[in-house]
Every structure is written in C-alpha cells, then in structure tokens.
Structure 1
Amino acid sequence: MPEELFTGQWQNRPSVLDDHKPYLDDRWYEGCANTRKLWEEIVPLGYKGSYQQVRAYLHDKRTSPRPVTAPPPSLRTVAGWILRNPDTLTESEQLQLKAVRTRCPELDALTRRFRSFAAMLTGGQGERLPDWLGTVRQGDPPSLHTLASGIDRDRDAVIAGLTMPWNSGVVEGHVSRIKMLERQMFGRAGFALLGKRALLAS
C-alpha cells in the first residue's frame, strides 16, 4: 500500500490528537471500540482534528501486536498540572493527571498534600498546619518529611504567615527597587548618590 512507504517518516510528529490519546486509551481498555462514539466523546473535550485521525489511531490499536498508547507526559508537564489550581485545568489535563496519579501512589499522595497546603496558603487557614505536618509524617513521600522538618523549626512564624493578613511584600519591593537602581549604576554609586536616586525614583 502507498501508506507503507511513509512508515516511520511522520511517527513522532506532534498531532492535535495527542492530548486526547490518554482518554481514548482509557475508553479503549474499558471496552469501547466504537470509533464514531469515541470521536463524538472527545469533540466536546476540545478536539479540533478530523474523524479520520481518530479512526487511524484506533485502527493501529486494533492491528498492532502490542498496545498503542500516547507518549507519557513529561515531568515538567505533570508538575505544572499539580502546581496549578485544579479549576484551571482542562478536562483533558484532569483526565491525564488522574491517570498518572492512579499509576503512581506516591505522586497521588504528593498531589493531595500539596493541594491541602495550597488551600491553607490561599485561605488563611494556618490553624490547620499542625494536623498537616502530622499527616505528612505518617508515611508520605520522604521528600515531604524534609519539608515538614524545615517548617516545624519555624512553626509559629509559618502559622502566623498563613493566618495573618500582614506580610513583608512592601519591604521586599523597596529592597528590589534599590538593588535595581544600584545595578543601573554598575555598582559604582556611593551611598549618598544611591540615596538621592532612591528618593527621586519614589
């Protein structure tokens, strides 16, 4: 067949179907092999490609001696999904993250702990920190044990930072501005000149 002449030529080329392959794989292994039904399911999820692309991908799964799956997401991609607000993830990203968490219990635990800490941080819920630290020490990934120990050394300060409305952002902003002025003068400014520039810039 003519298509066989191009075998391997375009195999690693990005496709509009790539983001939806994990969903198709999951549905395939659930027993759904109806190409048109699967195409109709991914269109509302944001798929902009053709029906023929879906059919070709599923045809490969039917004829391949080994399962054809989408390439796994990179570590950077998965970290981005975990660090972002869950409400900002697309349905496709949520499905892919769910698949990753299902396959890796440690990453699932890490995601749950991170999101719990993010809720404390954004909601001013510092009183929950002791319980969070206790839960982390009860068998979560070792990397979190080190973080918990560091937080515990300054527990009162961290609780205050997560609870009170005050912060040092304004002071840090002034320090950054003065450092910028100093860099603009290539480090050759004396204290008097730097003071004048800082006052005039404000």
Structure 2
Amino acid sequence: MFRTRESSLEIHLPWLDARWAAGKRNGMDLWRRLKPLGFKGSKRVVGEWTTRRRQADKIDLDRLRRVPSARTVARLMTTSRDCLSRSQTVTVATIENGVPALVEARQIIADFHAMIRKKAQKSLEPWIASAKEA
C-alpha cells in the first residue's frame, strides 16, 4: 500500500497562506515566526514552500495575461466549479468579470444539464416549445 507522508508544514498552511496574502514573502522570516507556533521543521522546508508559492503565483499571472482560446473558455465555463484547479477558477472569475453574459449562460447550461440528468421532462417542455418557435 502506498502511503504519503504528511508535511511538517501541513498544520501551519492556513497561517502561512494568510501571511503570504498579507505580503510576507521572506522564507527565513516566515520560518522564524513559525518556530514559536510549534513548527519543528527546518528553514529549508519553509524556503522550498516559498519557492513553490512564488512559482505558482508567476504561472497564474502568466496564464492570466494570455487570452484563452474559445475551446478553453467553453470547457472552463461548462466544467463544474468543484472540478476546477485554483488557476482555472481564477481564469473563470476573470472571464466572468470581462463578459458578464457568460455568467447567465453558464447557469442556463448547468440548469439544462441538471434537467437532463434528472430526466425531468416537464422542466424540458419550455425549452422544447421555445426551440419549435425559433
């Protein structure tokens, strides 16, 4: 059986995330402040965490600067929010801020998917009637 080892930072991640969001990005300083909170790990562990965070933030910024393709936008807007990564969620939020009509379209698609999954024929009747009129 494969078992993953829990990081010594695991219980301190909420605190680290809050410090990071507040602009505290120095690994050595974060390590010093973690010690009184019961952190037993080394400076290297915190340093590697800060490096990974910097790289993740840079990747997210690079992705936001590029305009996603129509195919990517369609996939992101029709994927359940629970299935999106952090960077995909940020991209969806940016798309929704830029094109508010897509928020309504996304909700209509989600409602339609729910009707189909539940086989709710009565709920489909308004859709069928409007399709016949068009």
TM-score calculated relative to the size of structure 2 = 0.47
Greater share of helix: 2
TM-score calculated relative to the size of structure 1 = 0.34
Structure with the greater alpha carbon radius of gyration: 1
